[in-house]
């Protein structure tokens, strides 16, 4: 087999060196009760060519050649070639978590750059080396706020991604953390400030909101921050569309920012792997979950990096750790790092402005459901969104997300997204279909 680098004669030599007669001797001492009785029912191995062919066949059953206006947490952005070039280097691809600092400075340096750029982007002071994704970063932020405040109650706005909220419920259910969901203003599409105020008590550890929210609307983070802080709670701001941060004011008034970096060169991949971020104020650094890289010096006095503040983590603190997280998304975070350095300061702004322009073109003349300003996603009242999507599919266009699935009261609405990848002629097809 091509992944097993030994000849039979080498195997025999090794067996002899071990004082064994046959390969079976390596495991035949196991209790006979547990030994497998018949071979695995998996076909014999196939060649590279056949493997490529198999996956091409499956890929052809997917949405090849369709224009898509789906967003809702996963966005179609161009992936600069350099991103794959860098992550394909074996030195990054085939290395482990950088525990041995002396031979991991490459990974450590890129993570330090990642942490820095995440801070610059979000307006926070410290960021970790990544989380599994945006959805799991939300409960991690909630648990962090609970540790910091010593309180136990969490409020989450209903305009936060519905699947993120579901994950929050799964994580908190058995930890004695009550979660209250607060509604949204049906005119503006923004969170209902009065609703949050009514539920905010001196037991509330965190208020979790998303901006741009699930409907694409920008939230008034500033006003909310004042309210939340006046009750001694922490404000957690979530984002799913990282590209928005090229033009939208970052949530500098938040205490914890979590989000999804998928927009930064991470292909949609039918939902993963993505990379989550968590960033916060310096004073909360010891409560941040996951891996952190810090700057230090080597024995020659030169700048060097290493994993740091490891005592927060599971391999040392075990059941008292800040989280059980171990593996993170280093390689995916590296894609995001390369993306950020390729676009840079000016490019990220220009990219965001293109998204803004495309989305506003697409929205032009369509019946907007909400009034709040939006970045590249917005809700349109279309009557029967499923029927509209069927119509569009015939024209090789995947329409928006029909919202009834998550918000029964919005069953006549669809969530449309345009990015720099959206072409004018496809957008015209959608506009005409909605207006028809």
Partner 1 sequence: MIKKVRRHIVQDEPLLFEISSPGKKAYQLPELDVPAVDAVEALGAANVRSEIEGFPEVSEVENIRHYTRLSTWNFAIDLGLYPLGSCTMKYNPRINELVARTEGLAWGHPYQPEELSQGAFQILATLEKYLCECTGMDAITLQPAAGAHGEMTGLLLVRKYLESLGNPRKKVLVPDSAHGTNPATAAMVGYEVVSVKSNDHGMIDLAALEAATDEDVAALMVTNPNTIGVFERDIVKAAAILHAKGAQMYMDGANMNALVGICRPGDFGIDVMHMNLHKTFSTPHGGGGPGAGPVAIKKHLEPFLPVPRLKRIGRKYSHDYDRPQSIGKVRAFYGNFGVLVRALAYILAHGGPGLRNATIDALLNAQFIRKGLEPYFDLPVTEPTMHEVVFSHDRQEAKGVKTGDMAKRLIDYGFHAYTTSFPLIVHGAMMIEPTETEPKRELELFIDAMISIAKEVDEDPQLVIKAPHLTRTPRVDETLAARRPIVRWKP
Partner 2 sequence: MYPENFRYTKEHEWVKVEGAMATIGITHHAQSELGDIVYVDLPKVGTTVEQGKTFGSVESVKAVSDIYAPVSGEVTAINEALNTTPEKLNADPHGDAWLIKIKLSNASQVDSLMSTADYQAYLGS
Token pair in block for residue 254: 């938040």
From partner 1, partner 2, none, which one binds at residue 292 (CB under 5 to 8 Å depending on kind)?
partner 1
DSSP string for residues in 389-429: HHHHHTTTEE--EEGGGT-GGGTTEEEEE--TT--HHHHHH
Minimum separation from the CB atom of position 8 to partner 1 (A): 11
Which tokens sit at 395? 């024209």
Point out which span in 34-42, 68-76, 242-250, 316-324 binds partner 2 (CB under 8 A): 316-324
387 binds partner 1 (CB under 8 A): no
- Member of 152, 183, 253, 273 binding partner 1 (CB under 8 A): 273
State yes or no: residue 311 binds partner 2 (CB under 8 A). yes
Choice between 310 and 398, CB closer to partner 2: 310
388 makes contact, choosing from partner 1, partner 2, none, with CB < 5 to 8 Å by partner type, with none
Binding mask 227-266 for partner 1 (x = CB under 8 A): ------------------xxxxxx----------------
The answer to whether 326 contacts partner 2 (rule: CB under 8 A) is no
CA distance 30 to 7: 26
Is residue 95 within 8 A of residue 107, CB to CB? The reply is yes
Select from 197, 227, 361, 411 the one that contacts partner 1 (CB under 8 A): 361
From 26, 46, 52, 316, residue interacting with partner 2 (rule: CB under 8 A): 316
Choose, by CB under 8 A, the member of 113, 152, 185, 412 that binds partner 1: 113
107/159 with CB nearer partner 1:
107
Q: How far apart are CA 430 and CA 416, in angstroms?
A: 10
Task: Considering only residues 274 through 293, tell me which ones interact with partner 1, judged by CB under 8 A.
Answer: 275, 285, 291-293
The 10 Å Cβ neighbour count of residue 262 is 29
Q: Can residue 405 be called a binding residue for partner 2 (CB under 8 A)?
A: no
Q: Can you tell me which of 21, 169, 286, 405 binds partner 2, judged by CB under 8 A?
A: 286
List strands edge to edge, sheet with 126-127: 126-127, 276-280, 256-260, 234-239, 204-210, 153-157, 179-182
- Smallest gap from residue 97 Cβ to partner 2 (A): 15
Output the CA–CA distances (angstroms, integers) from residue 193 to 155, 226, 227, 251, in the order listed.
12, 11, 9, 17
Span from 148-156, 193-201, 230-238, 357-365 in contact with partner 1 (CB under 8 A): 357-365
426 lines the binding site for partner 1 (CB under 8 A) = no
How far is 90 from 106, CA to CA, in rounded Å?
12
**Is-contact 369 403, C-beta < 8 A?**
no
**Applying CB under 8 A, does 198 fall inside the site for partner 1?**
no
Q: Residues with Cβ < 8 Å from 139, sequence gap 6 or more?
A: 167, 168, 170, 171, 172
Choosing from 77, 98, 160, 257, the residue that interacts with partner 1 (CB under 8 A) is 98
259 DSSP 8-state letter: E
Site string for partner 1, 404-423 (x = CB under 8 A): ----------------x--x
Choosing from 8, 150, 302, 436, the residue that interacts with partner 1 (CB under 8 A) is 302
Token pair of 385 as six digits: 């969104």
Residue among 107 and 149 whose Cβ is closer to partner 1 = 107
Q: Rule CB under 8 A: is residue 310 a binding residue for partner 2? A: yes
- Least distance CB 335 / partner 1 (angstroms): 10
Residues 6+ apart with CB under 8 A from 340: 117, 121, 264, 348
In the complex with partner 2, which residue's Cβ is closer, 318 or 394?
Answer: 318
User: What is the rounded CA–CA span in Å between residue 403 and residue 184?
Assistant: 14
Partnered with residue 368 across adjacent β-strands are 380
Residues that bind partner 2 in the complex, under the rule CB under 8 A? 286, 310-311, 316-317, 320
């Amino acid at each position: 087999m091509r992944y097993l680098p030994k000849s039979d004669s080498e195997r025999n030599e090794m067996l002899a060196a071990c004082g064994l007669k046959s390969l079976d001797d390596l495991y035949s001492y196991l209790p006979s009760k547990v030994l497998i009785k018949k071979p695995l029912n998996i076909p014999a191995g196939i060649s590279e060519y056949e493997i490529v062919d198999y996956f091409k066949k499956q890929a052809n059953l997917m949405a090849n050649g369709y224009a898509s206006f789906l967003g809702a947490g996963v966005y179609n952005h161009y992936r600069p070639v350099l991103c794959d070039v860098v992550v394909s280097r074996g030195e990054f691809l085939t290395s482990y978590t950088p525990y041995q600092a002396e031979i991991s400075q490459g990974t450590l340096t890129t993570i330090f750059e990642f942490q820095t750029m995440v801070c610059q982007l979000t307006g926070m002071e410290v960021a970790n080396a990544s989380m599994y994704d945006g959805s799991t970063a939300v409960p991690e932020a909630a648990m962090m706020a609970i540790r910091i405040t010593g309180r136990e109650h969490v409020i989450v706005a209903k305009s936060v991604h519905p699947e993120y909220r579901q994950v929050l419920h799964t994580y908190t259910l058995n930890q004695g953390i009550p979660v209250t969901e607060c509604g949204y203003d049906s005119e503006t599409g923004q969170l209902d400030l009065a609703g949050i105020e009514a539920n905010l008590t001196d037991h509330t550890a965190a208020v979790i909101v998303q901006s741009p929210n699930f409907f694409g609307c920008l939230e008034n983070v500033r006003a909310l921050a004042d309210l939340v802080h006046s009750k001694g709670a922490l404000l957690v701001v979530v984002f799913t569309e990282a590209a928005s941060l090229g033009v939208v004011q970052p949530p500098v008034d938040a205490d914890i920012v979590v989000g999804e970096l998928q927009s930064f060169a991470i292909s949609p991949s039918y939902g993963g792997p993505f990379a989550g971020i968590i960033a916060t104020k310096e004073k909360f650094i010891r409560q941040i979950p996951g891996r952190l890289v810090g700057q230090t010096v080597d024995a020659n006095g030169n700048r060097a990096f290493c994993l740091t503040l490891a005592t927060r983590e599971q391999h040392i603190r075990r059941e008292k750790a800040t989280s059980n997280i171990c593996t993170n998304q280093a390689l995916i975070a590296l894609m995001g790092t390369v993306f950020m350095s390729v676009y840079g300061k000016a490019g990220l702004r220009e990219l965001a402005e293109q998204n803004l322009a495309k989305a506003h073109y697409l929205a032009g003349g369509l019946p907007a459901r909400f009034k709040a300003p939006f970045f590249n996603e917005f809700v349109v009242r279309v009557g029967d969104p499923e029927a509209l999507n069927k119509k569009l599919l015939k024209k090789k266009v995947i329409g928006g997300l029909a919202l009834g699935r998550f918000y029964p009261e919005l069953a006549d609405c669809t969530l449309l997204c345009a990015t720099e990848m959206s072409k004018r002629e496809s957008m015209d097809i959608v506009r005409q279909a909605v207006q028809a």
